[in-house]
Amino acid sequence: MSQENVEIVRSAFVAFERGEIGEMLESMADDLTTHRVDPDDAIYHGKEGFLQATADWIEGFEEWTVTPEEFIESGESVVVRVHQTARGETSGVAVENQMWFVFDLRGGKVARVSFHLREAEALEAVGPSE
């Protein structure tokens, strides 16, 4: 089942990159929980909550991109290492970093997603590998 989960998450990223937000949201459960671990441990609920978490994350930046670089299967979860780039809206300063998303799936839909700045935290969130 985990390879199917990787394909669900990969397809969601592809839809996002094409600007097909509705298609991306179709991969998510209606009762989705989004956890933005850093900087404030914020929790958001539902698909609208996911969109709000993303908007809050990129506030103050423009030209924001997030490119998946690695998908790691772990049972019913998928850890995705991404490369993030943006430019400060006011300063014009370019920033880039790696971050990790953890997608927990239930019944073929993303039931929970968490954003992590550190790989160890993301891997810890899915527990020991099977």
pLDDT of 1 above 60 = no
User: Do 76 and 110 meet the contact criterion of CB atoms below 8 Å apart?
Assistant: no
Give the tens place of pLDDT for each residue, 81-93: 999 999 999 999 9
Query: At 120, which amino acid appears?
Result: A
pLDDT of 49 above 70 = yes
Confidence (pLDDT) at 38: 84
pLDDT of 17 above 70 = yes
Confidence (pLDDT) at 57: 87
Q: Is 49 left (phi over 0), alpha (psi -120 to 50) or beta?
A: alpha
Distance CA 32, CA 61 (A): 25
The average confidence (pLDDT) of the chain is 93
Q: Give the neighbor-by-neighbor strand order of the sheet with 42-45.
A: 42-45, 28-36, 109-116, 94-106, 77-88, 61-74
HSE-up of 112 (CA within 13 Å, CB side)? 12
Q: What domains appear along the chain, each with residue ranges and CATH number?
A: 2-126 (3.10.450.50)
Nearest CA to 112 among 50, 58, 23, 57? 50
